[in-house]
Amino acid sequence: MQRVPLPDLRGTTPGAIEVHRVDLALDREPAEALMQLDAAERVQAGRFARCEDRVRFATTRAAVRGLLARRLGCAPTQVRFAYNRHGKPHVADLPDLPFNVTHAGAHALIAIGDGTCIEALGIDIELCQRTGDAMSILDVAFTACEQARIRAAADPLAALYRHWSAKEAALKAVGVGVAEHLHALTVDPEHHQNIVVSSRLAGWTSLQAMALAMPGGYVAALAWRLKEHSCKTS
Mean pLDDT of the chain: 89
pLDDT at residue 230 tops 90: no
Q: Is the dihedral of CA 87, 91, 94, 96 positive or negative?
A: negative
pLDDT at site 231 = 52
Taking every pair of Cα atoms in the chain, the longest distance, rounded to a whole number of angstroms, is: 52
Q: Taking residues 97-105, report their average pLDDT.
A: 94
What are residue 208's DSSP bridge partners?
A: 224
Name all domains of the chain by residue range, CATH numbers in brackets. Answer: 2-226 (3.90.470.20)
* pLDDT tens for each residue of 20-68: 999 999 999 999 999 999 999 999 999 999 999 999 999 999 999 999 9
pLDDT at site 132 = 72
pLDDT at site 76 = 92
User: In angstroms, what CA-CA distances link 232 with 178, 207, 227?
Assistant: 29, 15, 9
Nearest to 120 by CA among 43, 208, 190, 30: 208
Q: Taking residues 115-134, report their average pLDDT.
A: 89
Q: Which of 8-17, 128-137, 156-165, 215-224 has the lowest mean pLDDT?
A: 8-17
* pLDDT tens for each residue of 129-177: 887 787 888 989 999 999 999 999 999 999 999 999 999 999 999 888 7
pLDDT at site 8 = 75
pLDDT at residue 95 tops 60: yes
| Residue 140 zone, left/alpha/beta (φ > 0; ψ -120 to 50; rest) | alpha
Using 50, 70 and 90 to split pLDDT, how confident is the model at 98?
very high
d(CA 47, CA 53) in angstroms, rounded, equals 10
User: Residue 85 is which amino acid?
Assistant: R
pLDDT at site 178 = 77
- What percentage of the chain exceeds 90 in pLDDT? 64
For residues 143 and 186, the answer to whether their CB atoms sit within 8 Å is: yes
The larger pLDDT score, comparing residue 140 to residue 231, is at 140
Using 50, 70 and 90 to split pLDDT, how confident is the model at 234?
very low
The larger pLDDT score, comparing residue 120 to residue 176, is at 120
pLDDT at site 112 = 95
Q: Is the dihedral of CA 54, 120, 118, 220 positive or negative?
A: positive
d(CA 36, CA 31) in angstroms, rounded, equals 9
